[in-house]
Chains A and B, each alone.
Chain A
Amino acid sequence: RKEVEQDPGPFNVPEGATVAFNCTYSNSASQSFFWYRQDCRKEPKLLMSVYSSGNEDGRFTAQLNRASQYISLLIRDSKLSDSATYLCVVNYNFNKFYFGSGTKLNVKP
C-alpha cells in the first residue's frame, strides 16, 4: 500500500467552479501535512500547510481528518491559473516526506 494516495484525475472544471481533492495516508503517526502545486515542467511549490483545525488561504481551504487519515483541498471560484497538478505531502519522523502521485486540475474557460 502506498504511503499517500491521491486520485490522479484529471479534474476538468469550468472557470468559477468549486473543486475538491482528497488524499489518504497510511501512517497514523504522521505529524505534518501539506499541499503543493506543481506546474508542468516546474518544481513543486508549497501551496499551504494543513492544520488539524482546518485552515483557509483566500480561495483555498485545507482540512485534516486524523481519525480517517485523509486530507482535503477545496478550491473555490477556480481560475484558469489554478490549472496544475496538486501534490499531497505527509511528513513523519522529522525528515521523512511522502508525496502523493498528484491530482491534475484543468480549469477551462
Chain B
Amino acid sequence: SAVISQKPSRDICQRGTSLTIQCQVDSQVTMMFWYRQQPGQSLTLIATANQGSEATYESGFVIDKFPISRPNLTFSTLTVSNMSPEDSSIYLCSAKTGGTNSPLHFGNGTRLTVT
C-alpha cells in the first residue's frame, strides 16, 4: 500500500486565518480524497481531489471555504479558509491506490484547533 505523508500534524490557529495542509503520496494514485473527523464522530468526505481539474465537493462543503489543489498524481493540498472554532477537527488525506475494489489508505491526519 502507498505511504501517505501529511503535514502539519497539528496546528493551533486564530480565527479568521487560513491553514494549508499538504499531502504527499509515495506513488502515483488514481484517487485522492480529503475527509474531516470531528471529535467523537465518524469521517465525513469533504471532496475528491481531481488531478488537473477542480475538486468535486460534497454537499455542505464549498470551494471558497476549502480550496483544494492537486497538481499531479502524488500531491494535494487542502486549505481551510477564514477559520472559525467550528473548523476545529482532524483533517485526513486519503488515497485509493488500486482498482475498483481496492481500499482507501490514510495519511496521519492534521489536528486543527481554532481559537
Contacts and interface: CB of A to CB of B under 8 A. Distances in A.
Interface of A: 31-32, 34, 41-46, 49, 87, 89, 91, 94-95, 97, 99-102
Interface string B31-55: 1010000000111010010000000
Contact of B31 (A31, A87, A95): A95
Given A31-B100, A32-B101, A97 B45 contact: yes
29 contacts: A31-B100, A31-B101, A32-B100, A32-B101, A42-B109, A43-B92, A43-B106, A43-B108, A43-B109, A44-B43, A44-B106, A45-B106, A46-B103, A49-B101, A49-B103, A89-B103, A89-B104, A91-B101, A94-B31, A94-B100, A95-B96, A97-B33, A97-B104, A99-B42, A99-B43, A100-B42, A101-B41, A101-B42, A102-B42
A46 B105 CA distance: 7
A100 B43 CA distance: 8
Nearest to B44: A99
A18 to B, nearest CB: 25
Contacts of A45: 106
Interface string B11-46: 000000000000000000001010000000111010
Nearest to A96: B45
Most buried by A among B45, B92, B103, B104: B103
Interface residues of B, number: 21
A73 to B, nearest CB: 15
The 9 closest A-B CB pairs, nearest first, are: A32-B101, A43-B106, A101-B42, A99-B43, A99-B42, A43-B109, A46-B103, A34-B103, A95-B31
Given A32-B100, A49-B101, A101-B42, A95 B48 contact: yes
Nearest to A45: B106
B101 A43 contact: no
